[in-house]
Each structure stands twice: as C-alpha cells, then as structure tokens.
Structure 1
Amino acid sequence: MRHSQHDVDPNAKTNWGIVKHLIPYLLESRYRVLLALGCLVLAKGAILTIPFLLKHLVDALDGAALAELAPAMLLGLVLAYGGARFANVFFGELRDTLFGRVTERAMRRIGLQVFRHVHALDLEYHLGRRTGGLARDIERGTTGISFLMRFFVFNIAPTLFEITMVVGILLFNYGPSFALITLIAVISYGFFSLYATEWRTQFVREMNSADSASNTRAVDSLLNFETVKYFTNEAFEAQRYDKELARWEQARRKNRLSLFGLNGGQALIIAVSQTAMIGLAAWQVKDGEITLGDFILINQFMIQLFLPLGFLGFVFREIKGSMANIENLFELMAIKPAVVDAADARELTLRQGGISFQNVSFGYSPQRQILDRVNLEIGPGEKVAVVGASGSGKSTLVKLLFRFYDPDSGCIAIDGQDISGVSQASLRRAIGIVPQDTVLFNDSIFENVRYGNPRAADADVAEAIRLAHLDAFIAALPQGADTLVGERGLKLSGGEKQRVSIARTILKRPPIMVFDEATSSLDSHSEQAILRALQEISRGHTSLVIAHRLSTVVDADRIVVLHHGRIVESGNHEALLAQNGRYASLWRAQQKQHQDDS
C-alpha cells in the first residue's frame, strides 16, 4: 500500500512550500483580492487615527483648554472618533465579504480537483485506501487551505505593517525609549511564538493521525456491520474503536498542555512590555514631558498593537495546524496513478469490436504471477467464455481489459488498436460490465439503473428494467422504482442487486459486453430468465463471459479454459467434452454436485 492515513511523522518539519500552491487561486481573482486589500488599507488607516483623535480629545478636555475649546471642534473630534471606529469595522467587514468569494471558490476548485484526482488513481490505491481517514483528511485539508489564504493575506502582512507604523510613530513623536520597548516586545513575542508553535506542531500531527485512525475504524466497522453481527463482535469492535479514541484523547491532552505553555508565555511577554510602556509614560506625564493625551495615545497604541499581535500568535498557531492538516491532502495529490493516458492518447475507434490478448503476462507482485503469456482472440460479435478454477486469472483478464492495470508484458488490442494508446474514458465507454459483486448507490432503484447512462430518458430506463426482469419485483414494492436501496444496496438481495447491475448494462448498450460471474447470485429460475435476456442483448455484440458455473456458458461460441494463468484448452462445449480434459473434468464435477443438491 503506497499511502496511509497513519503514515505520519510527528517531528517532521512544516512544508512551507505548500503555500505556493495557493498563489494561482489568488491570481485567478486578483481584482477582487486587490479590492479587498484596498479595504484593508482603509481599515488600518482608520484604526491608526483613533489614538491621535483620543489624544486631542483628552488634551482638549484637560483643565484650562476646555474653556477655550469651541463646541464645534469638540463635536468634530467626537464625530471623527466615531467615524474612525465605524470605518475600521465597516472596511474590515467589506474586506472579509469580498475575499470570502475568493476562498469559497478556491475551496470548491481544490475540492473538485482532489475528488477528480482520487477517481483518477488506479485500482491498487483504492484497494488499499481507508475511506474514513481519507474523507477526514480531505475535509480538514480544504478547510485549512481556506484558513491559510485568508490569514496570510489579511492578518500576517497587515499586522507587520501596523507594527512598523506604530514603532515609527512612537520613535518620531516620543523618542527611542517607547519604540525600543515596543520593538523588543514584538521581537521576543515573535521568536517565542515561532519556536513554541514549531514545537507544538508535532502534537497537532499526532492528533490528526489519531483522529483519522478513529474515523477510519468507525466507518470501516459501520460499513461492515452485517459481518460484525454475524460474528457477534460488537464488543470487539467497540474495544478497537475505544483504543483509537484513547490514542486521540492522549494526543488532544498533549496538544492542550502545549497550548497552555504557549499562551502563558505569550501573555507574560505582553504583560511585561505593556507594564514597562505604561510605567514609562506615567513617569513622563508626572515630569511634564508628555501630556495626559499622549499617555492615552501610547496606551491606546499598545492595546491596538498587542490585540492583533496576540491574534497573530493565534493565527500562526492555526496556520501551523492548517499546514499539518493539509499535508496529507497534498501528499494525496502528489500520488501518481500507475495507469495514465499516453501523452498522444486518441479516442478508441470501434469498427467491429474484436478483442486481442497478445502474449499477455501479469502479476500483482513479482511473487504473485497471475497470467503467463496469454494469447486470446475474440472475434467481432463472438461470445467467448473463460472458465477455470478460482485464482486461475479469469477476473484479471477483465481488469486488464478495462485497463485498471497494465500488463507486465504483451498488449491488448481492440480492433487492432493497442488500448494503452487510447484514452481510458473512450475505452471504458465502449465496454459494459455486469460484475460479480454489485455495489449500488444509496438512491432509488430507478436512479441506480439510470447510472448506466445518466442522460437516458425515463422510458429507456423502464425498458432496461423490463429486460432485466426487474419489473415484477418493482411492482410488488410499495414505492415501486422509487424505493431506496440503502447504503451499498443493503436493502436488496444479492439477486436483486445483480438484476439492477444487468439493467444498467442493458441501458448503456455498449459494443463490447463483459459478464463477470453475472448470474452467480441468482437462483436457477431467475438465472435462466436472465440468461435469455443476456443472450438477447448480447446478440451482435462482442461478449467476454467469466464463468464459474459451466452450465451458463454452454451456448458460447468458444470456451477457453485457464489454469494457473495459462490457456490449456479452447473450443465449444461439445468439442471440449470430447477432448475429455480439464473442462470435461470440471463439467462432470459440477453435474455431480448439481445432482447431489437436487
């Protein structure tokens, strides 16, 4: 398995290179971003004027100056203060509203990109993935991306700008003492936050890993609840889930304690620096070096500075957490599918539908060789059945034909076109399949059938239902074709699900038909009815039938016997019986079993 939600190194350094992936989404909405930045500048300009307005108000109200102050001037100062307060909030909200569209669009684009990427990954990845953990990683990752975009643009840079402005104002108006205290406080706060947050990230990663693992365990158990009940393993499943939850609880506790240390250190730095500033200002007011209004201005600047700085600490912590959250997302995006379209891949052009397996060898691993130099020709319109013992490679032929895997050697061609040189989409459009294990969507029977061709008219869907002999079953249901099938079709029996799958393929009406144990879940009566329907819809189509029950393929134009990945016999039913080889031996064994069952 190439990827797992558990493969987390808690001590790994944060990958800041992730940020560059966000730039295209900002550039896509650059005018909206520029407008939002304009609102940001106006909001910051308004908040920087507030301390000056307060200074002038306090100085104007202080003692003898009050008698000389014109009422209009006092009213103007009060209104200007109120206007600055409103402008700060208004432009801040307008900025968030404008930029909200950018983050929402980015989340949508990235979410869709990840969804398409996961669907583009090969079968090997999907056989090894953990659905619950994967879903949680994607959810946290897209949310983290939104957070990164918003706060990189609107918090870190503006706060640094505001710090620079405040230090400059204090230095220019009140000398180096106040500016130096502010600068030392900001630098100490920044270095402490960086160090402590980097240290805390390991706990965030551990927490995310435990969260994904517990979610995976829960989803896996619930998806297989029938198996849990068959073996009365509810307590065992609860115990395994609680084990994952205990790991999550411990990780959360470490995260919380580390957060306490970080917040405590930041609070100490802020308290010491504010005390030093207020003490110095009070001393200078006492000596008459500055006015009471200046004291208020300095105090207000300190409050305004450390509020965003304190928030900057929170933002930096969250950004680091978000980086840890989206690492799995970008690791997922970095996985390259093993099966990809060639750079010059063309559309499959179907003329007659002939299939050719030419010297095909394949193994899921070097230690597990499945097919060994298989040569198989299926002529246009021919029905060829592949039979053999379990594990002989029958279903692997289907996976290779659909190009879920590429053969280790040899090639597969349709109408003379190597399928590795055509697009996967055009290849799979040309082939319809009735698989052995049918999994349905949690939707109505009607919509599950329509999935074979989402653009099909209702009348065509109804006709496919009739041909698959589903109509009598549907008619007996209170809600008819609108009956919901439950998650993975659990409300239907195996045979009913198989009929839905057959109806889907009938609706698709592809030139090439594949039946992988298509009637394995049906009783004898239903099987005969379905076989007649399949014979009818496959007439004139090239058909590949994978079969275990030999009685279902006696009418095949040719039957191929696979044994240990090699074709050992080929011919029609009568010819193979006359050879008295492996096929005849399998036939006699199944006939005897059928007689014993009868």
Structure 2
Amino acid sequence: MIKLFRYLKPFSLPIAAILLLVFLQSLGDLYLPTLMSDIVDKGIVHQDRALIWRIGGFMLLVAGGGALCSIVASFLSAKVAMGFGRNTRSLMFNHVENFTLTEFDKLGTASLITRTTNDITQVQTVLTMMLRMMIGAPMMMIGGIIMAVSEDAKLSLIFVVVIPVLALAIAYVGMKGLPLFKAIQVKLDKLNLVLREHLVGIRVIRSFNRTEHENKRFSAANRDLTDTAIKVNKIMALLMPMMMFVMNFSMIGILYFGGIRINNNDLQVGSLMAFIQYAMQIMFSLIMVSMMFVLIPRASASAIRINEVLDMVPEISDPEIQVPETPDLEDMAPEIADPEARVTLLDQPDTAGIRGYVEFKNVSFSYPGAEQPALSDISFTAKPGEVTAIIGGTGSGKSTLLSLIPRFYDVVEGEVLVDGTDVRQMTQEELRAKTGYVPQKAVLFTGTVSDNIRYGKEGATDEEIRHAAGIAQALDFVTAMKDGFNSQIAQGGNNLSGGQKQRLSIARSLVRKPEIYLFDDSFSALDFKTDARLRAALKGETTESTVLIVAQRVSTVMDADRIIVLDEGRIAGIGSHSELLASSDVYSEIVSSQLSEEEIA
C-alpha cells in the first residue's frame, strides 16, 4: 500500500497542513487533563473561584481550538482522499487503455472493473482514516504515557502490563485477517463475473430456461463471499471486546492503586483524575489503531491488486522514435545549397511507396498457452483498389489474421508490413489511423446514431455521416426512426437488430475514409440482398483503399479480386473464385456446401 501512496505527491501541502492540525489538536487534548487537575487541586481544594474561572475559560479556549483543528483536518483529509481516488482511477483507466488483448485475457473484464472501483474505494476509505488516526493515535498514546508518568511514575507501571497485551491482540487479529481479506476481493471478482455474465447473456439464459441454474450459480458465489466475510468479521469482532475487557480492568487497577496512593498522601485527587483521563486517551488511541488494523488488511489486499494492474507492462508498445540528424545543406551539391533549390527540395512531398499496401511475410502466431499455432507461415499481399477476401472453416485463423494488421497482437515470427513498414516500427496511433476496423461482433455506444458514426471521425460533418450511412445501407432504417440521426442508441445497441448494428458499425468505419478497410465477418447478419447492395456500394467508395474481408459466405467473397483460403492456420489456396474452384479442394468443399450446382456453374 505504501507503494501506491507515491501518487499522493500532488497533495503534499494539504497533507502537511493535516499533520500540523492533528499535532495541535493532540497537544490541546493532552493539555486539558492537566488543566482539570489544577482546577481540582488548586481551585476547588483552596476554594479559589477566580482561579477556577480563569483555568476553566482557558480550557474552553483550548477545547475550541482543538475542535476547530479537528474540523479543518477532517475536511482536508476527505479532500485529499477523494482527490487520490480520482487520480488513481484516472491513472488506472488510462493505463488499462494501453493494454493489449493479452493483458485483458489475463486479468479479465470483471476483475478490472472491481479493481478500478471497489479496490480503489477501499484504499481511499483507509487513507481518510490514516490521515486522521495514524498520526493522531500514536501521538496521543505517546503523549498520554509521558503526561501520565509526569503525574505519577509508579502508577504508570500499570501500562507496562496493559500495552503489550493490547499490542499482541491487535497483531494477532491483523495476521489472521489479512489472508481472508485477500480472499474476499478474489471472491468479489468471481461474484462480479457471474453477475456480468448473467446480465449480458440474459436472452440466452431465458431462451434455454436456465434461470434456475444461473440462480444457483450466483447463490454459490454469493454464499462463498458471505461465508468468508462472516469468518473475517468474527475474527475482527473479537478485537473490541478484548480491548474493552483490558481497558476496564486497567481502570479498576488505576482506581485501586490510585486510592491507596491518595490515602498515603503520595497522590492528589486532581492528579488521579488527570491520570485517569490520560489512561483513557492511551486506551482510545489503541482502539483507534485497532480500528485501523480492521481496515488496513483489506485495503492492503486491494492495493496489491491495484499495483498489479499499474505495474503490468503491455506486451505491445510503441517504438522509440529517433529523430534523424538534419544534413548540412551547405555541404551538399551547389545546386541544392542554392536557396530556391533548397525550398523546392524541402517542400517536395514524399511519394515513395503506396498508401494502404499490406503485406504478410512468413507470419506465424500463437496465443499465449496454446498448444497449436493459430497461424503458420502466412504470406500474401493486399493492394489499394483491390478486395482481398479471407475464407475458411471455423477456427482456421481468419479473425486472428485480420487482428494482426492493426496490431491487436504481435506476430511470433515473420513480418506484417503496411506501406512497406513493419507495423512494429510504427506507433499504434499512426497505424490505426490508417485502418477502418469493423469487428465480428458489432459494438455500439450509448448516445445518438450520429455520435456512433462520428466515433470513426470526430470532426465528421452531417453530410459525411449521412453519406457513410447511405453506403452502409443504414439510411433507410435510420431516417425511419423517430428522431432520425438524433435517435438514441441503448447500451450495447440493444434497441437495434443485429443487421442494423452491423450497418452502423460499417458506417462508422466508412466515415473515417481510411487507407485500409478491415471487415471481420461484418456482413453475417445481413440478408443476401442487403449484402449485395452494400458490397456494390463499397466498390465505388473504396477505389483508392485496400479492402480485406473475412467472411463465411461464398456469395460475399466470390467477386473479390483475391481470395485467401485458410485451413487450420495455413493458406490452402490463393486466387480468384474460378481459379480456386479448379485448384483448391478446401474451397471447393466450402462452395459446394453453400451453393447449388446451378449457382456454381
């Protein structure tokens, strides 16, 4: 948890103010019993009313100052803790945004949500208490012991027995509680996972009448979390009775031995009253520490989980950009050194290479922990103005191949080149600015239809949005909606059909006008008529772009300039529809399973 507190650096000034205020409050609280002792021993015993009023008024002033310090310290503590929580959540969110799909697979979505919300809240809550108690409690305890010893050193020997007993009790409870608090956070992850799956898959659950099964699943995860929470709370519940038991017996001891010392004229009544107050302050300081030990183990477990995310280095990172040295033009040819020629040279655009050119060179890829490679020795080129289609059986590696281009994963062997440059030598922002990716599962965000299409290009005009929707065959159903392009999209696009979601996802990619279009089985929810119209419209829109289409339907790919047939992660054939019918058995099987003999002919 200390490692996580390095993010408190921006709050150094408020923390310093809190420490000062807590210190002043502690001094005031420690001084009050001494003033009370003076009132009893000097004012009441000698019946000096003026002294009583004077010391009493000073006590009110000290108490008021302490209360003011406490209020301001509490306000600043809350402000620092809330600011720390806000900054940590933002830091974690921004860090997770840089994760590759591999890191997401390792941690899981449910766990990342828990870590970003519940875990940070746990640390935030403890930080609020730490700023107030972790400084104030030790100060009060040490100061109380010093003041108690100054009142009566012999009577203070009671603390030699009491304090070690309480310290051992706190340490025992803390050691027993920490592993259980770690287990609670893990089981909370499991509960969130079950709940998330239930809410996301509610249609499937109901269609298969598995509601009772899901109820049992949730109840099991809920019971597991509850049992662990009850177990840890039972351990923590022992602490307060133990503290009160020791404290009450301590008070009996103080009163008994204090009475004897008063009877022997070794101690005055006011001093005994002050000693009791200091003893109470010491005990309550220990109780505050024990409360911290109830919360710290859980916050410590949460901090470990937060640090695990923040310390995780994404497998894919941008290359270090090296700025080339600018050549001295005076040392070059005389004609280039000439000012007019120099302007012409510097202003000349870079025309080397072709925009949108994609090349795979002997590419192999394996998912972490997989026994078999997902792709093996893949080599092909895709050029601007051409449509390259990828087809194959389920699990043949089609979507995996496509995800290597925007660098969602890095290749294990070989190279993926875009415009002649290895994608690993490009920044992710630069690479993805060249691509328009439409995923297999259409993803829409809450907001209007326009907002979702404009997600592909932030500054897109209404005309560009309308044009993209028209090409994607979405214009008809969008204009038929109540508010047209201003109609609201529900979370996950649940108020749209599968085909409508796919068409809006395609429109989002089209409005971007990228160099490379990547369609990952993006026409699967469309009927054949809409599919055909969409592909025809795309031809006129993508004349200067490279188009790669992953599809299951032969009708979607048969008009492509180049078809790549994948079989178990390897290329089983490359060519046009007619060429592959004659040369590839795998493609022939796919075609014969989907088309009739008349259609094939």
Q: TM-score normalised to the size of structure 2? A: 0.88
Shift of 1:417: 1.0
Stretch of structure 1 that moved more, 450-459 or 256-265: 450-459
Cα 1:373–1:234, aligned 2, differ >3 Å: closer, same or farther?
same
Q: Aligned pair in 2 of structure 1 residues 385, 81: CA closer, same or farther (>3 Å)?
A: same
Q: Is the 8 A contact 1:359 1:375 kept in 2?
A: yes
- Give the stretch that moved more between structures: 568-577 or 305-314: 568-577
Q: Does 1:363 align with 2:378?
A: no
Match of residue 333 from structure 2: none
Matched, 1:242 2:219: yes
The structure 1 residue matched to 2:241, chosen from 261, 264, 273, is 264
- In structure 1, the residue matched to 2:328 is none
Among 309, 312, 316, the alignment partner of 1:332 is 309
| Residue from 182, 196, 202 that aligns with 2:179 | 202
2:545 aligned to 533, 541, 545, which one?
541
Q: Superposition pairs for residues 272-287 of structure 1, below 5 Å?
A: 272-287=249-264
Aligned partners of 2:182 and 2:301 also within 8 Å: yes
Give the secondary-structure state (helix, strand or coil) at the position aligned to 1:369.
coil
Distance 2:598 2:94 in 1: 47
Give the match's secondary structure for 2:374.
Answer: strand
Determine if the alignment matches structure 1 residue 111 to structure 2 residue 111. no
- Larger mean Cα displacement after TM superposition, 97-106 or 310-319: 97-106
Tell me the distance in 1 between the aligned counterparts of 2:254 and 2:321: 69
Alignment of 1:164-563 (within 5 A): 164-175=142-153, 177-344=154-321, 352-364=355-367, 365=369, 367-563=371-567
Cα offset for 1:129? 4.7
Aligned to 2:40: 58
Q: What letter matches 1:88 in structure 2?
A: G
Of residues 23, 29, 40, the one that matches 1:41 is 23
What is the Cα deviation at residue 187 of structure 1?
Answer: 2.7
Q: Partner of 1:29 in structure 2?
A: 11
Relative to structure 1, the CA distance from residue 379 to residue 345 in structure 2 (aligned partners, 3 Å threshold; closer, same or farther) is: farther
Provide the identity percentage.
24
**Distance (Å, rounded) in 2 between the aligned partners of 1:498 and 1:168:** 74
Superposition RMSD in Å: 2.7
SS in 2 for 1:29: helix
- Deviation, 1:525, is 2.2
- The Cα offsets for residues 381-428 of structure 1, whole Å up to 9 and x where unpaired, read as 332222223322221111111212222210111112111122222212
Measured in 2, the distance between the counterparts of 1:533 and 1:168 equals: 87
Q: Which moved more, 1:242-251 or 1:232-241?
A: 242-251
Offset at residue 157 of structure 1 (A) = 3.2
SS at match of 2:384: coil
Q: Deviation at 1:510?
A: 1.4
Partners of 1:160 and 1:361 in 2: how far apart?
A: 61
Looking at structure 2, the residues matched to 593 and 480 of structure 1 have their Cα atoms a distance apart, in angstroms, of 44
Deviates more, 1:577-586 or 1:389-398: 577-586
- Which of 574, 577, 587 is residue 591 of structure 2 equivalent to? 587
Aligned to 1:20: 3
The letter for the 1-side match of 2:92 is V
Structure 1 residues 329, 593: closer, same or farther in 2, change over 3 A? farther
Asked if 1 retains the 8 angstrom alpha-carbon contact of 2:39 and 2:55, the reply is yes
Unaligned runs of at least 5 residues, structure 2 = 325-351
Change (3 A) 1:217 1:346: farther
Q: Distance in 2 between matches of 1:526 and 1:99?
A: 61
For residues 478 and 380 of structure 1, the distance between their equivalents in structure 2, rounded to whole angstroms, comes to 39
**Distance in 2 (alpha carbons) for counterparts of 1:100 and 1:369:** 52
2:225 maps to a residue whose letter is W
Quick one: distance in 1 between partners of 2:34 and 2:283? 18
| Long gaps (5+) in structure 1 | 1-17
Would the alpha carbon gap of residues 462 and 302 (structure 1) be closer, same or farther in structure 2, given more than 3 Å must change?
Answer: farther
1:225 offset after TM fit, Å? 0.4
Residue type of the partner of 2:62? Answer: A
Q: Deviations over 1:459-515 (max 9, x none)?
A: 433443333232321222234334443332222111000011011101222111111
Q: Rate the CA distance shift 1:527–1:341 in 2: closer, same or farther, 3 A.
A: same
Q: 1:383 touches 1:558 (CA, 8 Å); kept in 2?
A: yes
Q: Deviations over 1:291-325 (max 9, x none)?
A: 22212211221222222221111012211221123
Asked whether the 8 Å contact 2:23–2:139 carries over to 1, the reply is no
Structure 2 residue identity aligned to 1:398: L
Q: For residues 513-567 of structure 1, give each alpha carbon's deviation from its aligned partner in whole angstroms, at most 9, with x where no partner exists.
A: 1111221110122212222332232221111121222222333222222233232
1:310–1:415 distance in 2 versus 1, CA, 3 Å: same
Alignment pair present for 1:145 and 2:148: no
SS at match of 2:596: helix
SS in 1 for 2:416: strand
Q: TM-score, normalised by structure 1?
A: 0.89
Q: Distance in 2 between matches of 1:119 and 1:27?
A: 24
- In 2, the alpha carbon distance for the partners of 1:249 and 1:26 equals 33
Q: Which residue of 1 aligns with 2:335?
A: none
1:79 aligns with: 57
1:131–1:219 Cα contact (<8 Å) kept:
no
Question: Which residue of structure 2 aligns with residue 69 of structure 1?
Answer: 49
Q: How many residues align?
A: 573
In structure 1, the residue matched to 2:573 is 569
TM superposition shift of 1:28: 2.5
Q: Which amino acid aligns with 1:509?
A: K
The residue matched to 1:272 in structure 2 has which SS? helix
